[in-house]
Structure 1
Amino acid sequence: MPLLTTWFLRALVVVLATGLAAIPGQASARPVVPRATALPALTFGVSLPDAPGSMQSLEDLAARLGRRPTQVMWFDAWSRGTGFPTQQAASVAAFGATPVITWEPWDPSRGTDQPTYSLKAIAAGLHDAYVTTWAKQARAYGQPVTLRFAHEMNGTWYPWAAGVNGNTAADYVAAWKRVRGVFTRLKATNVSWSWSPNVPYPGSTPLASLFPGDAQVSTVALDGYNWGGLLPGTTWQTFLDVFDDGHGEVRSFTSKPIAIGEVGAPEVGGDKAAWIRDMFATLATRPEGLTGLTGFTWFSHFKEADWRIDSSPTAFEAFRTGLATY
């Protein structure tokens, strides 16, 4: 293509993009920043209520979406006392995805006041036998697996959070290093470690005080939801609204890769299908606040709200269409 023509077309693209970004009523007020090179591809993960115990719902969802997730995330509470879920991890790997286990030191039936699972108890080694079993079995499993240990620690709703159950931010760091140290000592090198706070909110614990350090963490995974008025003080937020501040705060103390560990939007309070379309549009451009994003995992559960990908035909179609160009 002649040089003059190429220059003219590039200039026209910049003018059109800038003009469109200024149109009132667009989802984001931020200007579109033209990029000279293609952005790196993003990973797509999902969490389903019955996967990977049963893989059928995952297979069905992938077939309907026309896209297989590359990460499958689920939750495992320490109170269950079971070992590393080798069979489940192998099923996910056979599906073609990386197992991501949210590893929760608590009994889910007992709230936040659980001295047995205080961070001081973990840091003191009172759970080392259990952690050692997991480390040995994860090493024997041998394939890549990611552990999200004690996630959303900057909130108040888990017994490992700073400020509840007698915990401090320093206790969290000590507990993380104790658990990670067991895996390091036993050479479970196939395990990656995802430090996964909730997006900051007024009154939450500052993230820097909870960060164990770059040497202790493989990736950062921010959890965030558009609560849309379901919780007191919340309003309908765009995808960028949810994650922009948290991404910036994390970037102030680490350059580790950042993913979206959990995300979802409800059917009440706004237009979920439109929200999903805006999410994929934001991921396609990755504006200033999300330039380092590596991927996302959708929390497809019916829990506090209907977060499911297929909560409605319009939401599902928006998601399927978004993935097709993702």
Structure 2
Amino acid sequence: MTAENPGGRGLPRRSLPALAVLALLAGCAADPAATDRVAANPAPPPSVAGSAAPATPAAVPSVSAPPSPSPSATTKAAAGRGGPVPFRAGRAMLGSYLSLGGKSLKESLALRRDQLGRDQSIVHVFYPWDGYVPSSEPAVARSSTLMVSWHGAPYAGINDGSSDRNIARVARKLAGMKRPILLRWGWEMNGDWFEWDGTHNGRDTAGYVKAWRRMHRIFREQGADNVAWVWSPNWNSGPNVSWNRFQRYYPGDDYVDWVGVSGYDFYNETPKTLFTAVCAAYGKRKPIILSETAAVDAGGISKAAWIAKLSSWVEDTPAVGAVVWFDTDTQEDSAHNFRFDTDRKALAAYRAMARSDRFSG
């Protein structure tokens, strides 16, 4: 998402064609034959993402598309993975970024606990690159996993060593929290809406990888062994061209604990369309986290129906180990309300998902 607000978030409205071809889509489904057509989205309105026209879908290079695993093979490969935040086969953690109008984080967590009958398995927060990072998150229960989206920065200022002190400081802060943390740095790097994406860094995808590995090393040196590294592209790339494929930004299996993906149904995309390409590319080797997602009511499928589709897709996709809802009605640059309790049916659908066996993790 783009255009940061004080809460650290914003909304990318550049809706581009999906990255994968049908052969890749089959790799993440429980039934390899159960594929879904990836359709090109209409050009977004100028007020949202300029006048960019939809690009022509391009096939993902074959080298980045692993063989389609069976569900059992996928589950076995991901079992025991996840680093300090372990993946549990057959179970998915369910959590949220929470920013509800007129409520503190503590109050928002209490409301969701009352509605769902359970605590958040993951609580998602955003920290600036070189600003204030707290020493603790007292509102977040110790039984919940903290997911920190740490803002990125231009690659040159990381790779030249000038940011080492800041990186080490943040590493010590997170280590000092003495709790398992999912660290999502420089997310949606394959978009064109952040200062840390490839477009704003001279198309230097290798520079992103180098920066990630440098930070990973510094965290290790600082003893931040409670941190699980979440690499999290957007579901489609902007621009949708070969140099900007999400695979080109991947730091390598030794530097990633979880693979995340951001995806919203702004143009009536199904969960399968949004998440299958990333899941198929990495789900055999790494547990998958839907690190930002939410449904909107925008003249298409209802929010309740989309939540039901999401629950069903996760049920059929064993590589998914976590889902994090973007639960807010305070997004300053968007008319969308991403809360799941905007109407009775949506709340009932989300409650049913939260109480299912699949989401008992």
How would you bin the TM-score normalised by the shorter chain?
0.7 to 0.9
Q: What's the TM-score once normalised by structure 2's chain length?
A: 0.68
Secondary structure in structure 2 of the residue aligned to 1:86: coil
Secondary structure in structure 1 of the residue aligned to 2:168: helix
**Alpha-carbon deviations, 1:35-62, whole Å to 9, x = none?**
9x9x711110111126996311111112
Question: Counterpart of 1:91?
Answer: 139
Matches within 5 A, 1:251-266: 251=283, 255-266=285-296
Question: Counterpart of 1:244?
Answer: 276
**Alpha-carbon deviations, 1:262-292, whole Å to 9, x = none?**
11110113211111112112222x1xxx331
What is the CA RMSD across the aligned residues, in angstroms? 2.8
| Corresponding pairs, count | 269
Shift of 1:91: 3.3
Question: Counterpart of 1:279?
Answer: 310
Unmatched 5+ stretches in structure 1: 1-26, 106-116, 229-235
Question: Counterpart of 1:113?
Answer: none
User: Structure 1 residues 100 and 119 mapped into 2: Cα distance closer, same or farther (>3 Å)?
Assistant: same
The higher radius of gyration belongs to 1
CA contact (8 A) 1:221 1:260 kept: yes
Q: What's the TM-score once normalised by structure 1's chain length?
A: 0.75
Pick which of 63-72 and 147-156 moved more.
Answer: 63-72
Using the alignment, how far apart are the partners of 1:172 and 1:267 within structure 2?
35
CA contact (8 A) 2:95 2:121 kept: yes
* Amino acid paired to 1:176: W
Q: Percent identity?
A: 29
Matches within 5 A, 1:218-237: 218-228=257-267, 236-237=268-269
**Alpha-carbon deviations, 1:290-324, whole Å to 9, x = none?**
33111210111233321111122221121112222
User: Structure 1 residues 267 and 238 mapped into 2: Cα distance closer, same or farther (>3 Å)?
Assistant: same
**Alpha-carbon deviations, 1:158-213, whole Å to 9, x = none?**
11001214351011001111111111111211111111111124706212211111
Matches within 5 A, 1:23-42: 40-42=90-92
Question: Counterpart of 1:197?
Answer: 233
Secondary structure in structure 2 of the residue aligned to 1:78: coil
Using the alignment, how far apart are the partners of 2:172 and 2:277 within structure 1?
38
Using the alignment, how far apart are the partners of 1:34 and 1:220 within structure 2?
18
CA contact (8 A) 2:266 2:298 kept: no
Using the alignment, how far apart are the partners of 2:277 and 2:179 within structure 1?
34
Higher helix share: 1
CA contact (8 A) 1:42 1:294 kept: yes
Using the alignment, how far apart are the partners of 1:53 and 1:127 within structure 2?
32
Question: Counterpart of 1:307?
Answer: 338
Question: Counterpart of 1:45?
Answer: 95
CA contact (8 A) 1:78 1:104 kept: yes
**Alpha-carbon deviations, 1:123-182, whole Å to 9, x = none?**
112211111111122222222112101011111111100121435101100111111111
Higher RCO (C-alpha under 8 Å, 6+ residues apart): 2
Matches within 5 A, 1:1-326: 40-49=90-99, 54-79=105-130, 81-83=131-133, 85-88=134-137, 90-94=138-142, 96-105=143-152, 117-201=153-237, 203=240, 205-228=244-267, 236-251=268-283, 255-270=285-300, 271-284=302-315, 286=316, 290-302=317-329, 303=331, 304=334, 305-325=336-356, 326=359
Using the alignment, how far apart are the partners of 2:214 and 2:104 within structure 1?
29
Unmatched 5+ stretches in structure 2: 1-34, 38-69, 76-88
